[in-house]
């Protein structure tokens, strides 16, 4: 977690104001760590997925870890709880005009690492720069108009309801920069920022944020070094220095964390962490959902659009066997929305393995014993689970139903091409969240991005398409939970997607580190650690 309001999140008021607290935002756990920046060094081993330290260009896992430590956002999450937002730079916000308008009230205590206050002008400039750079994360605020309502107020408006916006804003890509400093080094929020902004190189060697750490050195291939921000306005970080090392293999990480002090390994899978001693091991479900789909387009396949065939697949997967393959900490995903997000179905909605029913559905389909290929990306893993191993296990289960399936592995580059083009009859893929809100999973609805990759048009499933439209506009946590559950139940009953599992996230650390846990958004939260 970054910071937490006293007493938690208050109820939605009649004025549609969602109060996040009015005290300087702070971590309840971090606030107990009075030994601030005691000279200790923390070492983190990670196989880098890292391109930049400029938050408005950044959209990779290691970059999110780094930028989350350097830059504050308007709101954030409490540890691994992605179902409720809590304060960061904003102590409270109001939802107005049916979630078409949000008004954020800044904490007056917030200041940048140079000691200057964080103002609404800095927030507006930073978020408009993110939009106008047209980089990988720019879509997060697509369609938003951002203005200042005063020195301590930020107003965000959109033409369509956007109830998921508060869940998008914790993304470190929306981190707030010191406008004056970054503009002096080539930064701009102008509409032509994509061609005129030259601040990225400077931000890869320096930082201009209000977070607990500042950037000391940066390399995408070797290591990143962070130092405690001496001017930090919240609870002082527990470590004076944090060193992120790019490691080649998980075996190296395992050896390092077993013989180190104040060290964390981020890339071990459940089996590699099993049996380790004198370390702390944290395992839990990741937000990554592995799924199977049967293409609904009859031009692509005469077999896979058959609803009874799709139901045969749904009942024919041994989900317990998939979890055994994935290892401790993995869970079955009852719907396309991962269990850790608002809108997820309860575990009681899990699909059940029933080979007898699967064979009955196949017989009902009238297809006999059809023959087809299962396409998947080869040579990659998700949270340590090999796609090659997962595909072999799925193949075994499908063949037991009486379907003649062979594997068609493809490189990621080629596989993404056929998947995105919607030309795969039967595919095994996974979805990693763009942001932790159920609205991200409306992409799977008929007629939407991922739905069309499975050949599923809105005309084929108008009822589900209407549910998706309603879900996109629904406000209020209980109402959103209910509509997204209804959407997923309809998807499970009549859609071409079969959610399988969420592989486990594993974090291993030495015993002296306090408050360590895996984080599905930024790997591990440096603000929490003691």
Provide the residue ranges of all domains of the chain, joining segments of one domain with +: 17-269+506-510, 289-502
Strand 371-377 with 404-410, pairing: parallel
Pairing between β-strand 213-218 and β-strand 81-87 as defined by DSSP bridges? unpaired
Neighbours of 219 (CB within 10 A): 13
Residues 6+ apart with CB under 8 A from 254: 265, 268, 272, 273, 276, 508
Q: Helix, strand, coil shares of the chain as percentages rounded to 5?
A: 30, 25, 45
* Spatial separation of the C-alpha atoms in residues 197 and 187, rounded to whole Å: 5
- In order of 1, 91, 433, the CA distances from 340 in angstroms are 15, 24, 11
The DSSP element (H or E) to which 325 belongs, if any, is helix 319-326
- pLDDT score recorded for residue 80: 87
The strand pairing partners of 498, in sequence order, are 292
| CA distance to 6, 297, 389, per residue, from 321 (Å) | 43, 30, 12
pLDDT digits (tens, 9 = 90+) for 281-323: 999 999 999 999 999 999 999 999 999 999 999 999 999 999 9
8 A C-beta contact, residue 418 and residue 258? no
| Residues 499, 324, 514: CA angle, nearest 5 degrees | 95
The pLDDT score that the predictor gives to residue 168 is: 97
**Class for the domain spanning 17-269+506-510:** alpha beta
Contact between 91 and 25 (Cβ < 8 Å): yes
Q: What is the distance in angstroms between the CA of the first residue and the CA of the last residue of the chain? A: 13
The residue-averaged pLDDT of 369-391 equals 95
CB 379 within 8 A of CB 411: yes
**Distance of alpha carbon 239 from alpha carbon 513, whole angstroms:** 10
- DSSP E strand boundaries for 162-250: 213-218, 223-228, 241-246
Mean pLDDT confidence for 104-128: 98
The secondary structure element, H or E, covering residue 29 is none
The three-state secondary structure class of 122 is helix
Q: What are 431's strand-pairing partners?
A: 289
Which segments within 258-383 are labelled E, that is strand?
263-265, 279-285, 289-294, 331-332, 371-377, 381-382
**Residue 446 above 70 pLDDT?**
yes
Calpha distance 267→6 (Å, rounded): 34
Instruction: Report whether 154 contacts 74 (CB < 8 A).
Output: yes
The answer on pLDDT for 131 being more than 50 is yes
Average pLDDT over the chain reads 92
Q: How far apart are CA 75 and CA 52, in angstroms?
A: 22
Reported confidence tier of residue 448, pLDDT bands at 50, 70, 90: very high
pLDDT, residue 117, reads: 98
How confident is the model at residue 38, as a pLDDT?
Answer: 61
pLDDT score for 367: 98
pLDDT digits (tens, 9 = 90+) for 22-59: 333 333 333 333 334 468 999 999 999 999 999 999 99
258 CB-side CA count, 13 A: 13
Q: Tell which residue, 375, 372, 376, 424, has the closest CA to residue 399.
A: 372
3-state secondary structure at position 399: helix
CATH number for the domain formed by residue range(s) 289-502: 3.10.105.10
CA distance 383 to 318: 20
With beta carbons less than 8 A apart as the criterion, state whether 499 and 289 touch. Answer: yes
Q: Where does residue 175 rank: exposed (0-12), middle (13-18), buried (19+ CB within 10 A)?
A: buried
Q: For residue 523, is it left (φ>0), alpha (ψ between -120 and 50) or beta? A: left
Beta strands in 355-420 (DSSP E): 371-377, 381-382, 385-386, 404-410
The tens digit of pLDDT for each residue in 206-240 reads 999 999 999 999 999 999 999 999 999 999 999 99
């Amino acid at each position: 977690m970054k910071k937490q309001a006293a007493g938690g999140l208050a109820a939605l008021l009649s004025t549609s104001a969602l109060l996040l607290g009015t005290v300087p935002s702070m971590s309840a756990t971090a606030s107990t760590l009075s030994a601030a920046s005691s000279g200790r060094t923390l070492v983190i081993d990670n196989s880098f997925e890292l391109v930049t330290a400029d938050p408005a260009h950044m959209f990779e896992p290691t970059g999110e870890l780094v930028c989350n430590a350097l830059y504050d956002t308007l709101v954030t999450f409490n540890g691994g709880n992605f179902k409720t937002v809590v304060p960061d730079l904003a102590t409270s916000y109001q939802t107005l005009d049916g979630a078409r308008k949000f008004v954020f009230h800044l904490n007056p205590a917030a200041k940048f690492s140079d000691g200057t206050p964080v103002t609404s002008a800095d927030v507006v400039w930073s978020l408009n720069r993110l939009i106008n750079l047209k980089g990988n994360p720019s879509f997060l605020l697509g369609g938003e108009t951002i203005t200042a309502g005063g020195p301590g107020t930020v107003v965000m408006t959109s033409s369509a309801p956007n109830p998921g916006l508060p869940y998008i804003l914790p993304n470190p890509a929306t981190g707030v920069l010191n406008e004056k400093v970054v503009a002096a080094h080539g930064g701009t929020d102008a509409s032509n920022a994509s061609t005129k902004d030259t601040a990225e190189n400077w931000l890869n060697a320096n930082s201009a944020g209000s977070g607990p750490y500042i950037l000391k050195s940066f390399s995408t291939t070797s290591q990143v070094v962070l130092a405690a921000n001496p001017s930090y306005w919240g609870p002082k970080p527990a470590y004076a220095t944090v060193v992120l090392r790019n490691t080649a293999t998980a075996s190296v990480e395992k050896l390092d964390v077993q013989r180190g002090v104040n060290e964390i390994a981020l890339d071990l899978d459940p089996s590699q962490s099993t049996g380790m001693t004198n370390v702390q091991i944290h395992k839990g479900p990741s937000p990554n959902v592995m799924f199977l789909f049967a293409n609904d387009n009859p031009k692509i396949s005469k077999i896979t659009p058959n609803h009874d065939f799709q139901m045969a697949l749904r009942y024919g997967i041994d989900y317990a066997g998939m979890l055994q393959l994935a290892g401790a900490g993995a869970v079955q995903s009852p719907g396309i929305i991962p269990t850790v997000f608002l809108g997820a179905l309860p575990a009681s909605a899990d699909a059940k393995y029933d080979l007898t029913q699967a064979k009955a559905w196949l017989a009902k389909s009238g297809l006999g014993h059809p023959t087809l290929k299962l396409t998947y990306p080869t040579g990659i893993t998700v949270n340590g689970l090999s796609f090659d191993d997962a595909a072999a296990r799925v193949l075994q289960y499908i063949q037991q139903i009486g379907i003649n399936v062979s594997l068609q592995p493809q490189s990621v580059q080629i596989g993404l091409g056929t998947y995105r083009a919607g030309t795969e009859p039967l595919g095994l893929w996974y979805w990693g969240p763009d942001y932790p809100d159920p609205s991200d999973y409306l992409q799977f609805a008929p007629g939407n991005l991922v739905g069309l990759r499975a050949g599923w048009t809105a005309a084929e499933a108008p009822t589900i398409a209407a549910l998706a439209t309603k879900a996109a506009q629904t406000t209020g946590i209980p109402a959103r939970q209910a509509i997204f559950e209804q959407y997923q139940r309809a998807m499970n009953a009549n859609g071409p997607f079969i959610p399988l599992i969420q592989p486990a996230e594993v974090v291993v650390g030495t015993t002296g580190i306090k408050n360590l846990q895996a984080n599905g958004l930024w790997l591990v939260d440096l603000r929490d650690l003691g």
